[in-house]
Amino acid sequence: MPAIWLTLIVLAISAIGFFMGRQRALASAGGDSRNLHSLPIYYGSNAFMKSIVPAFGLMVLWMLVQPLFIDNRVVQMIPENEVAQGSNVGLVMSEVRRTADGLSKAVDVGLLDEETARNGAADLADVTQRLKDAGQVVTSEITQTVLNASQAYRSMAQTSNIMMTIAVLIVAVAGAAWGTMESTKSFRARNTVEQGVLALLIAAASVAILTTIGIILSLIFNTIEFFRLYPASEFFFLLEWAPSFSGRGGASSLGILPLLWGTLYISFVALLVAVPIGLFAAIYLSEYARPKMRSIAKPMLEILAGIPTIVYGLFALLTIGPILLSVFGDDGLGWMQGQRAVLTAGLAMGIMLIPFVSSLSDDIINAVPQAMRDGSYGLGATKSETIKQVVLPAALPGIVGAILLAASRAIGETMIVVLGAGAAARLSLNPFEAMTTVTAKIVSQLTGDSDFASPEALVAFALGMTLFIMTLGLNVFALYIVRKYREQYE
């Protein structure tokens, strides 16, 4: 039974529970809701909640565990020697899943009867042909083992589905019945429902924690896997990045240093653009601009912040790159070879970060108490003296925090560097050369057709881990500084 039908049936059972709970409560109070502890709706909600929450919980849990369980059982059916050279169990398993899926579809269109689909002794050639007739993608790699494994996979999945349907329905009905039985006039339905709602609220708040855990686990497991295949010392200290493409043989050099250098260099260029412009813009807006000017200029700058990064990437590749090339390229000064360069990506990223720096700094400068400024003006200081010698020193920690946050943004930025920075990893000081970054390589290593078990793909997780730790460190530190700073003036 498809999950969507099961969902609807569970909903229906819970709805029935709602009305029964409500009715029973009213009946126990002799039809007068004033005799009830809580409003009638709470009795209904209680039954509804007790039916739907455990049923859906079980369903989700089952659907998460089922593939793991079945995979585990089916993998045992595949002998070690069946796994072809250069392949792995993972690939065979996806083949098994695909074949199982194909079998079901072939049965659906009537080209295969249920009997044959389940029959372990069925003729391989015949079934393959029938699958092809049914329009299913069949690779030549289907072996007897794969066919048998997929038949087992299919029957286990079917059994499991039926069991799940039954279990979920039982839980739903039992919950509804329990909620209904509870509904007597002295039952504190409101408190129970409210506790349930509170639990849901806590669960929602925990999603943030789950996300963090998910990020950390997915990075850690794959990184460990990577370091099993590739020496960590080379990853951290090798000065070369040259992945070999899978299948072509030869060892890859996967040193992170050239990528880190590219990342930091481009981020540095970006900050070189964004910090002075953003900071002066913030100073102007908060100290000099009249309210009318401010109300125009501030949203205009913030438009820059609302533009998606893909737009900046395109702008870098197709506008900034050609302009730089016409000045510094072979027709001009002859320093630049292609449109993609550190400067191209850095400039675009700098433009993107201007509003980020300016709005954070603006907030921070505004948090400096007016009394400070008055004190300085009262002594005959000019505005710029007041800003340079009183306001900025007072705001310095906050501004440093803002710049660190901007740096973290720059380091984690992907689309601009993917489009604007180039693909070659280089350790060079020349800003007119193409370089690449950690994020760009994560994208290129994971979007190709390479299989997930190769070090060339797994390295992306190690890169991701490095990126995560770097940005997390910067963020935690920056947020700490900014918080301390705010507390000072609160």
Partner 1 sequence: MTDAAMTPDSAHPSKSLTHADERTKKRNAAERRFHAYGIGAICTGMFFLIALLAAILSSGLPAFRQAVVEVPFTLTQEQYDEAEKALLKTGKYTEYFVTSLTDAMESEGVEIEFDKKAIERLLGKVGGDLRAYYRENEDQLGTPVSFELAAASRVDRYLKGTFKREDLQSGNRFFMPEDFNLIDAMREAGLIKQVFNWNFLTGVDTGVDNPGGAGIGASVLGSFFMMLVVLVLSLPIGVAASIYLEEFAPKNRFTDFIEVNISNLAAVPSIVFGILGLAVFIQFAHLPQSAPLVGGLVLTLMTLPTIIISTRASLKAVPPSIRDAALGVGASKMQAVFHHVLPLAAPGILTGTIIGLAQALGETAPLLLIGMVGFVARYPDTFVEGFIEPNSAVPAQIYNWAARSDAVFTEKAWGGIIVLLLFLITMNTIAVILRRRFERRW
Partner 2 sequence: MNDMRILERDVDTNDVKIAAKGVQVYYGDNHAIKDVDVEIDDKTVTAFIGPSGCGKSTFLRCINRMNDTIDVCRVVGDIQIDGEDIYDPKVDPVQLRAKVGMVFQKPNPFPKSIYDNVAYGPRIHGLAKNKAELDELVEKSLRRGAIWDEVKDRLDAPGTGLSGGQQQRLCIARAVATEPEVLLMDEPCSALDPIATAQVEELIDELRQSYSVVIVTHSMQQAARVSQKTAFFHLGNLVEYGETGQIFTNPVDPRTESYITGRIG
Interacting positions 358-397 with partner 2 (CB under 8 A):
369, 371-382, 385, 389-390, 393-394
Tell which one of 119, 384, 389, 488 touches partner 1 (CB under 8 A).
384
355 binds, among partner 2, partner 1, none (CB under 5 to 8 A by kind): partner 1
Please name every residue paired with 254 in a beta bridge, in sequence order, or none if there are none.
Answer: 241
Of the listed pieces 45-53, 187-195, 233-241, 368-376, which binds partner 1 according to CB under 8 A? Answer: 187-195
Task: Tell me whether residue 70 or residue 107 sits nearer to partner 1 (CB atom).
Answer: 70
At residue 92's C-alpha, the angle toward residues 87 and 97, to 5°, is 150
Site string for partner 1, 255-284 (x = CB under 8 A): ---------------------xxxxxx-xx
Closest distance of CB 360 from partner 2, Å: 20
Closest distance of CB 480 from partner 2, Å: 19
442 binds, among partner 1, partner 2, none (CB under 5 to 8 A by kind): partner 1
Tokens for 268, please give them. Answer: 């540095």
Residues 272-301 that bind partner 2 (CB under 8 A): 290-291
Alpha-carbon distance 444 to 459, whole Å? 11
CA dist list (Å): 342 to 91, 300, 328: 39, 27, 13
Asked if 154 interacts with partner 2 (CB under 8 A), we say no
Phi-psi region of 419 (alpha: psi -120 to 50; beta: other; left: phi over 0): alpha
Q: Which residues contact 13 (CB under 8 A, 6 or more apart)?
A: 51, 55, 169, 172, 173, 176
DSSP per-residue codes, 441-460: HHHHHHHSS--TTSHHHHHH
482 binds, among partner 2, partner 1, none (CB under 5 to 8 A by kind): none
DSSP per-residue codes, 12-46: HHHHHHHHHHHHHHHHHTTT-GGGSSS-HHHHHHH
Phi-psi region of 30 (alpha: psi -120 to 50; beta: other; left: phi over 0): left
Tokens for 483, please give them. Answer: 């918080």
Residues 147-166 that bind partner 1 (CB under 8 A): none
Closest distance of CB 375 from partner 2, Å: 4
Task: Tell me whether residue 170 or residue 228 sits nearer to partner 1 (CB atom).
Answer: 228
Asked if 45 interacts with partner 1 (CB under 8 A), we say no
Residues 426-465 that bind partner 1 (CB under 8 A): 439, 442-443, 446-447, 452, 460-461, 464
Residues that bind partner 2 (CB under 8 A): 290-291, 369, 371-382, 385, 389-390, 393-394
